[in-house]
Amino acid sequence: MASQKTIEIVKSTAPVLAIHGESITKVFYQLLFQNHPELKNVFNMTHQTHGTQSKALANAVYAYAANIDNLAVLSAAVEQITQKHSSLSITPAMYQLVGANLLAAIKEVLQDAATPEIMDAWAEAYGDLASLFIKKEEQLYQNAEAKKGGFRGQKEFAITKKEAESSNITSFYFKPADGSAIPSFKGGQYIAVSVQIPDLEHLHTRNYSLSGCPTQNTLRISVKRETGSPDGVVSNFLHDHLVVGDTVKLGIPAGEFVLAKTEKPIVLIAGGVGITPLMSMYMELFHFANNEVLFVQCAKNSSVHAFKAKSQKLAKQKPSLQTISLYDEPLSTDIADGVQEFSGLLTIDILKEKLSTLDAEYYFCGPVGFMKSVKQMLESAEIPASQLHYEFFGPSEALA
């Protein structure tokens, strides 16, 4: 535990971090990759280009400073971070590198305001925080190793199947290259995928939700082809160059966006490629639960709607499951064929029509704007916050 003096000093810096936090984290990442370019193999450099990672880290540093005397309020954030770190195989040595460059960035930005007393306090506080993460992540690594098919770090997996799910989403099925069992996972979790792209200087690592179920005896991810650069560098490489038989390195399954045990109805609300973790949950519910389940699939139109036929096939086999589709820009053929069940955006009235009760557990994932809309809709229906569960693709942010 940090000393009381350190706690007081770090907490007193919170107002300064609220103003200068993002400047500090931008300098931090510049120093980190300048001094340790090998860490580009781990970090998502697209997030660096967009600045989203700097903003997310600034918010995290501020939250730590403001709550250093009551870290229990940060338990959810700590869990989310440790899960992400375990997927990326973060090691204790990396914390030392991060700490040294973070302190250097604080000093560079705040200059004389960063007195020796403040720097010493932050060094002690960072050391305590790093120890907390290292301990929790080591437990995650040990738990992963102990499970059937478990391993530590990264492992070579071979592509056994490649399947188009829509005009812009393709599924990739993986099995361990050494012929061992697949690692166990829960619906909603993700894996880190590392690929070496020709003519690029470092490995590119991305987290992708698992879209399948352990009963398939494979790990399946379903990747949307992103347009533009650098956004689509990995997704386009996967779509255009990887074929059955190729191998990639995968991390251990991770993530806390998983189904909670409940007897309430369960509502899965997907926007676009946000369908991927929810499809995994849906398959898990099909095989292992008897809850009333409503799977709401929102897409632009049928051409970009992944898994519709597969989800409907499962619903026909189990009466407790139902699926509905909403298209906000339906094709003329969608309308003519009566393919879409609803046109436009999801409303609470649609949920009332399809559910026996609104007192359900809600899981939703998709673009940030979509999730904000869903969250506001459910809050307006007075659904308790404890029954709202959502996942971000990329750095987390507030859904105001």
Question: Of 43-52, 185-194, 349-358, which gets the smallest average pLDDT?
Answer: 43-52
Listing from the earlier edge strand, what are the strands of the sheet with 342-343?
A: 342-343, 321-327, 293-299, 266-271, 361-365, 388-391
pLDDT at residue 64 tops 70: yes
How confident is the model at residue 214, as a pLDDT? 86
Mean pLDDT in residue range 57-62: 91
| Average confidence (pLDDT) over 299-315 | 93
Do residues 185 and 176 make contact, with C-beta atoms less than 8 angstroms apart?
A: no
Instruction: Give CA–CA dist 123/73, Å, rounded.
Output: 22
Residue 333 has pLDDT above 90, yes or no: no
Query: Of 64, 95, 190, 282, which is the active-site residue?
Result: 95
The backbone torsions φ and ψ at residue 358, rounded to the nearest 5 degrees and listed phi first, read: -80, -10
Please, what is the angle between helix 14-35 and helix 92-110, to 10°?
120
Q: Which two tokens stand for residue 237?
A: 């490489």
Let me know: does 395 contact 53? Beta carbons within 8 Å: yes
Mean pLDDT to the nearest integer, 295-319 = 94
DSSP 207: E
**Cα(68)–Cα(60) distance, integer angstroms:** 12
For the chain, the first-to-last Cα distance in angstroms comes to: 33
Q: How confident is the model at residue 128, as a pLDDT?
A: 93
394: confidence class by pLDDT, cuts 50, 70, 90: low
User: pLDDT tens, 187-244?
Assistant: 999 999 999 998 888 899 999 999 999 899 999 999 999 886 566 889 999 999 999 9
Residue 400: pLDDT over 60: no
Number of neighbouring beta carbons within 10 Å of residue 171: 20
363 has catalytic annotation:
no
What pLDDT does 228 receive?
A: 67
Report the pLDDT averaged over residues 282-304. 95
Residues 378 and 368: their CA atoms lie apart, in Å, by 15
pLDDT, position 44: 81
53-68 average pLDDT score: 90
pLDDT number for residue 134: 96
83-129 confidence digits (pLDDT tens): 999 999 999 999 999 999 999 999 999 999 999 999 999 999 999 99
Q: What is the DSSP string of 25-49?
A: HHHHHHHHHHH-GGGGGTS-HHHHH
Alpha carbon 213 to its chain's center: 18
Q: Are strands 247-250 and 190-195 parallel, antiparallel or unpaired?
A: antiparallel
Q: Which of 314, 320, 308 is nearest to 267 (CA)?
A: 320
pLDDT of residue 396: 60
User: What is the pLDDT, as a whole number, of residue 56?
Assistant: 86
Q: Within 10 Å of residue 179's Cβ, how many Cβ atoms?
A: 7
Count of Cβ atoms closer than 10 Å to residue 364 Cβ: 26
- The residue annotated as part of the active site, out of 22, 29, 62, 137, is 137
Q: Is 95 a catalytic residue?
A: yes
Residue 289's pLDDT is 95
Q: What percent of the chain has pLDDT over 90?
A: 82
Sheet with 155-164, strands from edge to edge, namely 204-209, 190-195, 247-250, 155-164, 169-176, 219-224
State CA 218 to chain mean position distance: 20
Higher pLDDT, 196 or 51: 196
Q: Which residue has the tokens 């869990």?
A: 79
Structure tokens at 50: 């967009």
Q: What number of H helices and E strands is found in the chain?
A: 13, 12
Average pLDDT of the chain? 92
pLDDT tier at 339 (50, 70, 90 boundaries)?
low
Residue 1: the pLDDT is: 72
What mean pLDDT do residues 159-181 have? 96
